[in-house]
Amino acid sequence: MGRVSSRHKVVRIDLDGATTRAIDTVAGEEPLEIRVGGTTFTVTMRTPGHDVDLAHGLLRAEGVIAAREDVRSARFCSDLDSLNVLDVQVTRPAAGEAVTSTRNLASLGGCGLCGTTAVEAVEAATAARPPEVVWAAGAVASALEELRGRQELFDRTGGA
C-alpha cells in the first residue's frame, strides 16, 4: 500500500455500542513543502503522488508561473526528507520575483497544518501528541450522536 494508503486494525463501534473488529484502509496524508528557486513558498498537506502536478497548479494559480514553459525543473530535495520537499526552478526572472517572502496561503484543513512555512513546523506540531487515550464505547457513541446532530452536511455527504 505504501504512502498513498495504509491498512489498520480497527474496532468499529456502532451507535448502539456493538463492536466489530475489522481492517480499514486509510488514505495517506503527508506535508509537501514547495520551494521556488530554493525559497520556501508554502507547505500543504496532500496524499502523496502527482506532487509535481500539484505544485505546478498551485504556482500557476498564485501567479508565480504563467505556463509550463516557466518551469525549468521540479526536483525533490535529496538532502532532506526527499519525498516531502519539492524545489521548482523557474526560467523567467519575473516568476521567481513573485516569491519575495515566505507565503502563508489561505488553506483550510481540519488539522490546521496547511499553510505552515516548513515541513519541520509540521513535524514539530505533530510530535507533541498526548499519550494514548482509551475511550469507553458509550462515550464514542454519544460523541458521534452529538456531532451528527450538529453537522447536517456529514449525514448527506459522508464528509464535512
Q: Which residues are catalytic?
A: 111
Strands across the sheet containing 30-36: 39-46, 30-36, 85-90, 71-76
44: which strand partners? 32
Among 9, 30, 1, 17, which residue's Cα sits nearest to residue 144? 17
Q: In Å, what is the CA distance from 20 to each residue of 11, 85, 136, 137?
A: 6, 39, 15, 12
